[in-house]
């Protein structure tokens, strides 16, 4: 009975390790896709898109005008050990009703906190280039009051569109050139290969431990 249980557990954790390694291989392919996209020429955003997937981690270009009254500040953003805000401003695309949210940079909290420091918005036509990303799919709210004026605990494109009534594209552009007085926000594409490799090694380690214990017990019986 002990041998059967050990064999079943060994087979289970070994299969889980193999499954995680297969997932790592899938993520390596996705990482390679992201890396290729970074090297491509900027894609011009001209209007509505059904999904963010085709442009994720591509450099993009958009032109239009800022909607200053819809600018929001995403709180609890840490940079160099200091807490601050990401400044996110909708850019209404030229000749279109849709907007794209642009992360124009990071600014530190000041004595006015929890209010955000004012960040000016350039009038007239502008052109923006940057990296197309998505906000984190899962986030933690630090307060039940998730939106206080223009200060938000987290950014969700769907929540933003519902709150403002704007037709927002399903991506956020990290601007190559931050607004004056702001620090540039960057993000490196990470498909999550390392996580699956770590999980795989954990399962294989359990399999090896199971085998070692079985051998130790049975060799002791033989002796």
Q: Report, as an integer, the average pLDDT of 11-32.
A: 66
Q: Is residue 137 part of a domain?
A: yes
Range of the domain at 107: 58-175
The pair of three-digit structure tokens given for residue 177, joined into one six-digit string: 């050139």
Q: Is residue 165 part of a domain?
A: yes
Same domain membership, residue 156 and residue 70: yes
Same domain membership, residue 81 and residue 162: yes
Same domain membership, residue 130 and residue 24: no
Same domain membership, residue 81 and residue 169: yes
The answer to whether residue 32 scores a pLDDT higher than 70 is no
Same domain membership, residue 70 and residue 158: yes
More confident residue, 74 or 217: 74
The pair of three-digit structure tokens given for residue 111, joined into one six-digit string: 């004595």
Same domain membership, residue 166 and residue 75: yes
Q: Is residue 47 part of a domain?
A: no
Same domain membership, residue 73 and residue 167: yes
More confident residue, 11 or 72: 72
Q: 3-state DSSP helix/strand/coil percent for the chain, to nearest 5? A: 35, 30, 35
Cα-based angle 136, 161, 137 (whole degrees, multiple of 5): 15
Give the per-residue pLDDT at 198.
73
pLDDT tens for residues 34-78? 667 667 778 899 888 888 888 888 899 999 999 999 999 999 999
The confidence band for 86, taking pLDDT boundaries of 50, 70 and 90, is: very high
Q: Which of 89, 108, 116 is nearest to 173 (CA)?
A: 89
Instruction: Count up the domains in the chain and report the number.
Output: 2
Q: Is residue 49 part of a domain?
A: no
Q: Is residue 116 part of a domain?
A: yes
Looking at every residue in the chain, the average pLDDT score rounds to 82
Same domain membership, residue 218 and residue 119: no
Same domain membership, residue 26 and residue 132: no
Same domain membership, residue 144 and residue 72: yes
Q: Which of 186, 179, 62 is nearest to 129 (CA)?
A: 62
Same domain membership, residue 69 and residue 131: yes
The answer to whether residue 103 scores a pLDDT higher than 70 is yes
Q: Is residue 204 part of a domain?
A: yes
Q: Which residues contact 82 (CB under 8 A, 6 or more apart)?
A: 108, 109
Q: Is residue 182 part of a domain?
A: no
33-42, 48-57, 108-117, 202-211: which is most confident: 108-117
Q: Report, as an integer, the average pLDDT of 2-19.
A: 73
Give the per-residue pLDDT at 203.
73
The angle that helices 193-222 and 2-39 make with each other, rounded to 10 degrees, is 160
Same domain membership, residue 199 and residue 167: no
């Amino acid at each position: 009975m002990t041998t059967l249980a050990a064999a079943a557990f060994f087979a289970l954790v070994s299969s889980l390790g193999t499954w995680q390694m297969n997932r790592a291989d899938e993520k390596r392919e996705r990482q390679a896709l992201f890396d290729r996209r970074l090297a491509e020429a900027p894609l011009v955003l001209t209007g509505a898109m059904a999904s963010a997937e085709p442009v994720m981690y591509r450099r993009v270009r958009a032109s239009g005008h800022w909607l200053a009254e819809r600018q929001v500040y995403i709180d609890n953003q840490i940079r160099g050990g200091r807490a601050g805000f990401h400044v996110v401003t909708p850019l209404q695309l030229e000749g279109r009703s849709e907007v794209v949210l642009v992360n124009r940079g990071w600014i530190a909290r000041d004595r006015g906190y929890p209010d955000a420091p004012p960040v000016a918005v350039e009038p007239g036509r502008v052109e923006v280039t940057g990296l197309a990303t998505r906000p984190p799919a899962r986030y933690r709210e630090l307060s039940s009051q998730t939106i206080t004026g223009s200060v938000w605990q987290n950014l969700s494109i769907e929540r933003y569109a519902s709150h403002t009534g704007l037709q927002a594209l399903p991506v956020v552009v990290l601007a190559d050139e931050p607004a004056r007085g702001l620090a540039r926000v960057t993000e490196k594409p990470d498909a999550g290969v390392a996580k699956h490799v770590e999980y795989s090694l954990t399962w294989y380690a359990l399999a090896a431990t199971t085998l070692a214990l079985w051998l130790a017990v049975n060799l002791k019986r033989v002796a």
